[in-house]
Structure 1
């Protein structure tokens, strides 16, 4: 289905029709992520990932950002994992209590997590 050259408003049915893959006979939607500056397609190749491990090789800090983001810029989403005595994850918390991409990877030890 092709869309008209000029149309400002589409019904939800038209949007659904435009998002239907006729080869696979499936509705297709594309995930998007906002890093505080840009909107990007969400897929594995669109995120840089940093991991810091503790003495037991448990990942305690996870950092996500757009590829090429400097570790000294406030464009990272940072998560902190905690573990019990059996090395099972007991909680995950975001830097500054927010899933936003607004933290500095190099300052992860100094941030509050909730």
Structure 2
């Protein structure tokens, strides 16, 4: 696993094919991110490096984590989102998952790696 930083955010990369980042409530407060639309954030993440799938985890104040996936053609991230009661399209999907940021991230990354 490779760990690198771009700007003020930290990103992690697995096996050259999966890239992800998290945005905790504390991070959101520090940078003034209102958390209404994550599409721009995940789209930026998907352009960071050559990757197959990217995921962003955004902690919400109600005890949930908003998860968004983007993928290259040939990967169906909606199949992963459905496992977490989410949905979307093959190259773009999302879910809102009840739980702590770290445990949600662990579960989602485990399921996402199975695509690769």
Greater fraction helix: 2
What TM-score do you get using the length of structure 1 for normalisation? 0.24
What TM-score do you get using the length of structure 2 for normalisation? 0.24
